[in-house]
Chains A and B, each alone.
Chain A
Amino acid sequence: DQQVKQNSPSLSVQEGRISILNCDYTNSMFDYFLWYKKYPAEGPTFLISISSIKDKNEDGRFTVFLNKSAKHLSLHIVPSQPGDSAVYFCAASAGFNKFYFGSGTKLNVKP
């Protein structure tokens, strides 16, 4: 029962352009969402989060949008840089106990 889905296994973007990574969830009880970035041979590192009381959260080049009615969130990276190339996971939680992760999207930013 995959409660968090990332349907795009990979995404390739030119440096300087916008990267948009998408995530869908099925559990309407989820009230907190995070994005993690993962480089090879390292554990995931936190990138940005959003709670269900908001529809947008911004941190520098990274913005997360939440559409509760569609059960959809997206991560925008503007402008994309080659160092952003990594696997991105979205994760969701109900009540901040345990998190459910998507399967990840591998982003490749081409110079």
Chain B
Amino acid sequence: DTGVSQNPRHKITKRGQNVTFRCDPISEHNRLYWYRQTLGQGPEFLTYFQNEAQLEKSRLLSDRFSAERPKGSFSTLEIQRTEQGDSAMYLCASRHNRDREFFGPGTRLTVL
């Protein structure tokens, strides 16, 4: 059982740069979720996929954010023209249908 993995674990970037994060879910899980967590808050839903289809996007996901899940396997979350307000922990979770979610360790983004 390899669990959900996320890379990189930490990312420091300068404002205005683009960043991309990767999530590898548990292999048989058809649903994949992205959350953002800031200090003192719980995870906030960003978007989710069922297989390769992106079914819902939060209004938190501005047009600078894009997520993909090609072939229904791993997923990437890209942030273009990063801003300091994007600094947060980005969490990925996967699950199979109505089973519980399994979270990855997260990617901590710091925008200078």
Q: Which B residues are in CB contact (< 8 Å) with A44?
A: 43, 91, 103
Q: Which A residues are in CB contact (< 8 Å) with B42?
A: 4, 6, 89, 91, 101-104
Q: How far is the CB of B110 from chain A (nearest CB, A)?
A: 15
Nearest A residue to B108 via CB reads A41
Contact A101 B44 (CB under 8 A): yes
In the assembled complex, the Cα of A97 lies from the Cα of B54 at a distance in Å of 12
Q: How far is the CB of A23 from chain B (nearest CB, A)?
A: 10
Q: Kindly supply a per-residue 1/0 record for chain B positions 38-80, scoring 1 wherever the CB is within 8 Å of any chain A CB and 0 otherwise.
A: 0011111100100000011000000000000000000000000
Q: Which of A23-43 contact B (CB under 8 A)?
A: 34, 36, 41-43
In the assembled complex, the Cα of A98 lies from the Cα of B43 at a distance in Å of 11
Q: Which A residues are in CB contact (< 8 Å) with B25?
A: none
Q: Kindly supply a per-residue 1/0 record for chain A positions 70-111, scoring 1 wherever the CB is within 8 Å of any chain B CB and 0 otherwise.
A: 000000000000000000010100001111111110000000
Q: Number of contacting residues on A, CB 8 A?
A: 23
Contact B41 A103 (CB under 8 A): yes
Q: Which B residues are in CB contact (< 8 Å) with A89?
A: 42-43
Q: Which of B1-57 contact A (CB under 8 A)?
A: 4, 33, 35, 40-45, 48, 55-56
Q: Which A residues are in CB contact (< 8 Å) with B44?
A: 101
Q: Number of contacting residues on B, CB 8 A?
A: 22
Contact B4 A43 (CB under 8 A): yes
In the assembled complex, the Cα of A98 lies from the Cα of B23 at a distance in Å of 18
Across the interface, A98 reaches (CB within 8 A) one of B33, B91, B103, B106, namely: B33
Contact B45 A99 (CB under 8 A): yes
Contact A43 B40 (CB under 8 A): no
Contact A96 B98 (CB under 8 A): yes
Contact B100 A103 (CB under 8 A): no
Q: Which residues of A contact B (CB under 8 A)?
A: 4, 6, 9, 34, 36, 41-46, 49, 89, 91, 96-104
A–B pairs, 5, beta carbons within 8 Å: A6-B42, A43-B104, A49-B100, A101-B35, A104-B41
